């Protein structure tokens, strides 16, 4: 069976947002921006906000957190040494990045990509690099890379629950004076995604899947408070660990 490949911009995104495919046998996580901060960096603004004393020390902690979380899912992973937005000076050359990621696409049966809801620059880069690169290969002569694979965009968490999930996810009554459905659709289309190519899928995690995700995501303890995630805040935590949303992308 061809493997499922989940592209994770950072060390926590696959576990946070796409735990469903991580539990399938043979899934591989490819974490793109997992490079060690350069020597010239001592402590970045973001690492400082999350209470770090040194970006290098924080990086080592985050790698260890990610190892433990991936062990919970039991899936294989590869880390690329691209520099996270907070550790680099400028934008990424997307054609160069696609060349680097392309080998992971060749035998993939399913490809999972962040939808980049919330517009984090690293999430946008991973999405656009892969969608644009796959499109370029498709229009070029010869056998297109990853052409047989199902492509899915996953809703980035916790950014996607800025206002909570819409009622079509949870079944709860819509709240007055808040149109979450509009906000989420706007997030998807404002960066050029064509709604006609997207078919949404909602997963309410089973008790087992939810317990496993809960155990895995708690490993990212240096990141949870900075992202406004706290198991004691039960309604937001339930939205985070209880549901995932994906869009099948019609190529």
- Residues contributing to the site for Zn ion (CB under 5 A): 9-10, 13
Q: Considering the complex, what minimum distance in angstroms separates the CB of residue 84 from Zn ion?
A: 9
SS (H, E, C) 13-37: HHHHHCHHHHCCCCCEEEECECCCC
Q: Which is nearer to Zn ion, 6 or 145 (CB)?
A: 6
Q: Which is nearer to Zn ion, 84 or 239 (CB)?
A: 84
Q: Considering the complex, what minimum distance in angstroms separates the CB of residue 189 from Zn ion?
A: 21
Q: Which is nearer to Zn ion, 13 or 66 (CB)?
A: 13
Longest dimension (CA), the chain: 54
233: helix, coil or strand?
coil
Q: Considering the complex, what minimum distance in angstroms separates the CB of residue 173 from Zn ion?
A: 31
CA angle 178, 204, 148 (to 5 degrees): 105
Q: Which is nearer to Zn ion, 85 or 181 (CB)?
A: 85
Q: Considering the complex, what minimum distance in angstroms separates the CB of residue 47 from Zn ion?
A: 14
Determine contact, residues 154/113, Cβ cutoff 8 Å. yes
Q: Which residue is nearest to Zn ion (CB)?
A: 10
Q: Considering the complex, what minimum distance in angstroms separates the CB of residue 22 from Zn ion?
A: 15
Q: Which is nearer to Zn ion, 13 or 65 (CB)?
A: 13
Q: Which is nearer to Zn ion, 56 or 120 (CB)?
A: 120
Q: Considering the complex, what minimum distance in angstroms separates the CB of residue 219 from Zn ion?
A: 15
DSSP 73-120: HT-EEEE-BPPPGGG-SS---HHHHHHHHHHHHTT-SEEEEE--TT--
Task: Measure the CA–CA gap between 125 and 211, rounded to whole angstroms.
Answer: 31
Task: Measure the CA–CA gap between 137 and 147, rounded to whole angstroms.
Answer: 9
Task: Measure the CA–CA gap between 10 and 33, rounded to whole angstroms.
Answer: 5
CA angle 204, 205, 207 (to 5 degrees): 130
């Amino acid at each position: 069976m061809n493997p499922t490949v989940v592209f994770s911009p950072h060390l926590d995104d696959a576990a946070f947002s796409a735990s469903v495919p991580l539990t399938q046998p043979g899934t591989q996580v490819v974490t793109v921006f997992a490079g060690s901060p350069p020597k010239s960096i001592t402590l970045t603004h973001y690492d400082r906000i999350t209470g770090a004393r040194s970006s290098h020390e924080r990086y080592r902690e985050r790698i260890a957190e990610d190892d433990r979380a991936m062990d919970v899912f039991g899936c294989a992973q590869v880390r690329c040494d691209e520099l996270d937005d907070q550790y680099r000076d400028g934008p990424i050359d997307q054609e160069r990045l696609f060349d680097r990621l392309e080998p992971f696409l060749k035998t993939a049966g399913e490809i999972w990509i962040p939808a980049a809801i919330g517009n984090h620059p690293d999430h946008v880069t991973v999405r656009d690099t892969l969608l644009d690169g796959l499109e370029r290969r498709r229009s070029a002569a010869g056998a297109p890379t990853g052409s047989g694979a199902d492509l899915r965009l996953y809703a980035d968490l916790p950014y996607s629950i800025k206002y909570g999930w819409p009622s079509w996810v949870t079944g709860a009554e819509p709240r007055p004076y808040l149109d979450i459905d509009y906000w989420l659709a706007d997030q998807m289309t404002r960066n050029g995604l064509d709604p006609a190519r997207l078919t949404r899928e909602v997963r309410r995690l089973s008790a087992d899947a939810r317990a496993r995700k809960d155990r895995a995501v708690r490993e990212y303890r240096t990141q949870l408070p900075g992202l406004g995630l706290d198991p004691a805040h039960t309604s937001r935590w339930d939205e985070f660990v209880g549901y995932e949303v994906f869009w099948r992308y019609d190529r």
